[in-house]
Amino acid sequence: MDLEGCPSLDVSLTYGCNALTLIPFTADVGGFFGNPEPEMLVRWYVVGAFSPFFRAHAHIDTKRREPYLLDEPYKSIVRDILRLRYSMLPVWYTAFRETSATGMPILRCVPASYMIRGV
């Protein structure tokens, strides 16, 4: 994935995918500043769908970027991504509950998951 010109998505992916991270969530889908091209906005939605904290949020001076304002095929792609996100809400609720009980990060590598279970 070419992330040149989109450093905030690059940082979110880099830190959000580490086992124990100081930035446990990816938020501000679309980036807070700037006006991403539709293809990059779709990529943001994909990253956001698999992140614990998801919000489409931007600075007041950016272009409106609500999914319903996108042209096809981007609108349909984002709609499918949002449906997937909502279908995964039970997974996120369970992960947040587990985090509150164990203190383990919500986003973690596979070996860290086995540390919780004592395997």
pLDDT digits (tens, 9 = 90+) for 8-40: 555 555 555 554 444 456 668 888 888 899 999
How far is Cα 14 from Cα 23, in angstroms, rounded to an integer?
Answer: 10
Quick one: pLDDT band at residue 97, thresholds 50, 70, 90?
very high
